[in-house]
Amino acid sequence: MNYTNLADEELLNLLKISDNRAYEEIYRRYWAVLFRHSRRMLSNDEAAKDLIQDLFVILWKNREEIT
């Protein structure tokens, strides 16, 4: 399956059943944009990276609760 062609909703459905490749694709799609917004708000690259890392850890830990 080519995950790069999947819609976000499809990726979330796969993530919900612990599909690692779906998680990796979501990370690939959204890390940079989330980092840019975080860096702009925090004015600190390291804090922004930590925040985004925490966000993705929380996403993985709560994947089964995605609706």
Asked if residue 12 is part of any domain, the answer here is no
Residue 67: its pLDDT value, please? Answer: 83
Whether the predicted pLDDT of 59 surpasses 90: yes
- For the chain, the distance separating the N- and C-terminal CA atoms, rounded to the nearest angstrom, is 23
Asked if residue 57 is part of any domain, the answer here is yes
Whether the predicted pLDDT of 22 surpasses 90: yes
Asked if residue 42 is part of any domain, the answer here is yes
Asked if residue 22 is part of any domain, the answer here is no
- If one counts the domains in the chain, the total is 1
Percent of the chain as helix, strand, coil, to the nearest 5: 80, 0, 20
Angle value at C-alpha 47, between 60 and 41, nearest 5 degrees: 100
Asked if residue 18 is part of any domain, the answer here is no
Asked if residue 36 is part of any domain, the answer here is yes
Q: How sure is the predictor about 62, in pLDDT bands with cuts at 50, 70 and 90? A: very high
Asked if residue 49 is part of any domain, the answer here is yes
| Residue 67 DSSP SS3 | coil
Asked if residue 58 is part of any domain, the answer here is yes
pTM confidence score: 0.92
Domain of residue 64, residue span: 30-67
